Structure 1
């Protein structure tokens, strides 16, 4: 899978830390490691409108992060990284598998986690406008979040906020011959 864009919404200097360099490297490698179909050299998506699920994509990403020592399921986030020396708060990542409302909740949970002193920062990963049409109907996506970026950026400088960002991902290529990615059974996945 191809990393498309990394947007920093709030940064109290965390992005210049050694900790951030570690989590960013892990996340970018996790995105790059996603392949479809399994065993291929890249991520090809069958361009069937609303025809592909998202949970298997997220699972491949989380599997790579776990290899780096991340842990899954923390405070309702998909994964978190706690630094070995133990004097830093965890960094969380959420891979969007729900609808656009879920994306807003993820950003708010990250903000709340920072304000409560439970996390150092977080990143939401979601599809680009180019990938969105081929995934589960109404999946959270960067195009629909763009109008809110300025609002969230106004949290910059607020006490307690460390780092908050969004990363977008996209397929490497379209291919009508690859199988569609299995869908889940909740929400709008089967529509």
Structure 2
């Protein structure tokens, strides 16, 4: 698999010029480059999407294989610790909300949902907290991941946030409605604008893509997962999976 580009949406404090960022970046880029199919082939070759017919839905590749290979390499070779939890005090990091008609009290909407875990959370050599998310959910999940990272950067809880997600070309051959840079692109200015509110912090997006496409019927589609959009697609069609 290849990393097409890494976009820095904001970098307050020139963190992208530090050795800590260089080491972190090189680590997860190595992990991306080791995602291959067939395994041990040295490159990621995936089946081209087969367009749907009257009797069968389109056949596409699942995403869990890609995420699993990334996590495995990060943990086993790069020695990262997965599923890091963030301790974020919502009550001390929010502002009162104005009500209409106006009331004399300050209103705070109750927080009923947490952030959950990040794929990876680490401390750099110089003590900067960094979080990495590998996006395998639908497009709304991609928005949520960037919102999580931006909120924690604004609060000063992390210094570096990274989201990894498919290119538009890769998305075409994956489970329908998976998050991808094409559908996030109209909103990048929104997340960029948060850089003006942050004293020190960096938000980056790395876009990944397959190395080759194949029409070889003997090459299996990447396995489809059992949750969310993947499960819906799996019910509609039976594809050859690994």
TM-score class, shorter-chain normalisation, is over 0.9
**Secondary structure, in 3 states, of the residue corresponding to 1:180?**
coil
The TM-score normalised by the length of structure 2 is: 0.74
**1:27-57 per-position Cα deviation (integer Å, ceiling 9, x unaligned):** 1111111101112120001012551111110
Asked if the contact 2:162–2:205 (Cα under 8 Å) also holds between the matched residues in 1, the reply is yes
Asked if the contact 1:4–1:169 (Cα under 8 Å) also holds between the matched residues in 2, the reply is yes
Report the number of matched residues.
Answer: 189
**Secondary structure, in 3 states, of the residue corresponding to 1:68?**
coil
1:170, distance to aligned residue in structure 2 (A): 0.7
Q: 2:215 aligns with which of 176, 179, 182?
A: 176
Question: Which residue does the alignment assign to 1:52?
Answer: 61
1:90, distance to aligned residue in structure 2 (A): 2.1
Instruction: Compare relative contact order (CA 8 Å, sep 6+) and give the higher one, 1 or 2.
Output: 1
**Secondary structure, in 3 states, of the residue corresponding to 2:28?**
helix
Question: Which residue does the alignment assign to 2:175?
Answer: 136
**Secondary structure, in 3 states, of the residue corresponding to 1:36?**
coil
**Secondary structure, in 3 states, of the residue corresponding to 2:147?**
helix
1:118 and 2:160 equivalent? no
**1:38-78 per-position Cα deviation (integer Å, ceiling 9, x unaligned):** 12120001012551111110111122222222111113211
Q: Distance in 1 between matches of 2:79 and 2:156?
A: 22
Moved segments of 4+, more than 6 Å: none
Residues 32-71 of structure 1: pairs in structure 2 closer than 5 A: 32-49=33-50, 51-66=60-75, 67-71=77-81
Question: Which residue does the alignment assign to 1:74?
Answer: 84
Question: Which residue does the alignment assign to 1:189?
Answer: 230
| Coordinate RMSD, CA, aligned | 1.5
Unaligned segments of structure 2, at least 5 residues: 51-58, 86-116, 234-242
Larger gyration radius, structure 1 or structure 2 = 2
The TM-score normalised by the length of structure 1 is: 0.93
